[in-house]
């Protein structure tokens, strides 16, 4: 009881721990057996929080075929106390983290916005709104996000609306975070407000969908993104069923990997499972690569030729005098070896 309460008070990625109905018994499939089968696939993760991830993650992602990522600005796990930490965070998304990613051969983009949780601190939220224009026009910023509702408060709505206007003005796509609690209502509300502000639904990516929300999102012309995240959101078996039912148009898969228990390889693993279940390579590539590019390219900031054939990284390169791969180290190749050298 006590343990449960604790989990609910500090949920990972804004969410509470529900949806454990996926724990059916099954024969486990081993990821190692599928790495070869998806060689040659290209992956684009349009929602991942790399600031929370390690260099091992970057290496594994690159090896699994992830060519590019989008890192949405979000809540860092505890409330920020001042404007300067927002500034530093946004700067790291367009600066250091992008550089770090490039060192592992992965092209890094981001979306910039005030997350729904911190929209509830009105004084700080007003200050953040003032600095957002300094960041959203920067190179490699492919949208305003992730914004929307968490608890569905009035303040969340206020700053969501203001940021929709900002996106319109900047001609940027919008990446919407939908709430876990009361998701259906929150998703509908997010979409109707976006339409009310005159946004073209094909410029809006509604994220964290599930079986309950997908039909309405697609029917209204929005992009439907799905987060493969253990425990709190969707498992990839459910994702396979959704693609079987709805096809591939305007659907995209992401990991939302962050500081919670999550998997930065969610996309390649889901692709492997789709392949296993007989979904065509063409369909798989649409939902794991092409559709995300199509949606976020509207920003004018994505050049596929920058990453399609792999990003060449220079291990001696520096970012304001600092290197990631100190002394020009080559990323270690064999993570299964007992030797660390």
**Interacting residues toward Zn ion by CB under 5 A:** 74, 256
Q: How far is the CB of 72 from Zn ion (least distance, A)?
A: 5
Q: How far is the CB of 13 from Zn ion (least distance, A)?
A: 6
Q: How far is the CB of 110 from Zn ion (least distance, A)?
A: 11
Residue whose structure tokens are 């505890």: 78
Closer residue to Zn ion (CB): 105 or 143:
143
Closer residue to Zn ion (CB): 74 or 226:
74
Q: How far is the CB of 34 from Zn ion (least distance, A)?
A: 26
Beta strands in the chain, from DSSP E residues, in sequence order = 43-45, 66-72, 107-112, 141-148, 174-177, 204-206, 223-227, 251-254
Q: Shortest CA distance to 252 belongs to which of 261, 244, 243, 260?
A: 243
What span, in angstroms and rounded, lies between the C-alpha atoms of 323 and 317?
6
Q: How far is the CB of 81 from Zn ion (least distance, A)?
A: 21
Closer residue to Zn ion (CB): 38 or 150:
150
Kindly compute the dihedral angle of the four CA atoms of residues 274, 277, 282, 288, in this order, to the nearest 10 degrees: -10
CB 69 within 8 A of CB 48: yes
Say how many residues make up the chain: 341
Q: Please count the CA atoms within 13 angstroms of the CA of 339 that sit on its side-chain side.
A: 4
CA 266 from chain centre, in angstroms, equals 11
Closer residue to Zn ion (CB): 101 or 256:
256
Q: How far is the CB of 28 from Zn ion (least distance, A)?
A: 28
Closer residue to Zn ion (CB): 50 or 125:
50
* Sheet of strand 251-254, all strands in order from the earlier edge strand to the far edge: 43-45, 66-72, 107-112, 141-148, 174-177, 204-206, 223-227, 251-254
Closer residue to Zn ion (CB): 115 or 313:
115
């Amino acid at each position: 009881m006590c343990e449960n309460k604790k989990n609910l008070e500090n949920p990972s990625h804004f969410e509470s721990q529900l949806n454990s109905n996926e724990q059916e018994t099954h024969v486990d499939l081993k990821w190692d057996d599928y790495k070869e089968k998806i060689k040659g696939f290209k992956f684009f993760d349009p929602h991942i929080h790399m600031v929370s991830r390690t260099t091992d993650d970057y290496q594994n992602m690159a090896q699994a075929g992830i060519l590019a990522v989008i890192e949405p600005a979000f809540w860092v796990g505890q409330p920020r106390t001042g404007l300067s930490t927002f500034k530093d965070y946004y700067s790291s998304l367009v600066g250091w983290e992008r550089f770090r990613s490039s060192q592992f051969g992965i092209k890094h983009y981001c979306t910039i916005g005030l997350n729904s949780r911190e929209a509830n601190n009105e004084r700080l939220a007003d200050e953040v709104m003032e600095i957002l224009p300094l960041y959203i026009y920067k190179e490699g910023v492919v949208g305003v996000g992730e914004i929307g509702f968490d608890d569905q408060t009035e303040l969340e709505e206020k700053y969501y609306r203001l940021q929709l206007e900002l996106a319109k003005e900047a001609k940027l796509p919008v990446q919407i975070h939908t709430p876990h609690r009361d998701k259906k209502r929150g998703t509908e509300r997010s979409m109707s407000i976006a339409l009310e502000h005159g946004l073209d639904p094909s410029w809006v990516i509604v994220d964290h969908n599930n079986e309950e929300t997908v039909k309405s999102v697609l029917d209204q012309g929005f992009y439907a993104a799905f987060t493969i995240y253990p425990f709190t959101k969707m498992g990839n078996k459910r994702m396979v069923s959704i693609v079987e039912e709805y096809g591939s148009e305007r659907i995209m898969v992401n990991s939302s990997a962050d500081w919670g228990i999550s998997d930065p390889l969610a996309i390649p693993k889901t692709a492997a499972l789709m392949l296993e279940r007989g979904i065509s390579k063409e369909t798989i590539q649409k939902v794991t690569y092409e559709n995300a590019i199509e949606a976020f390219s509207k920003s004018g900031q994505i050049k596929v030729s920058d990453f399609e054939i792999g990003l060449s990284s220079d291990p001696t390169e520096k970012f304001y005098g600092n290197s990631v791969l100190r002394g020009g180290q080559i990323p270690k190749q064999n993570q299964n070896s007992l030797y660390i050298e």
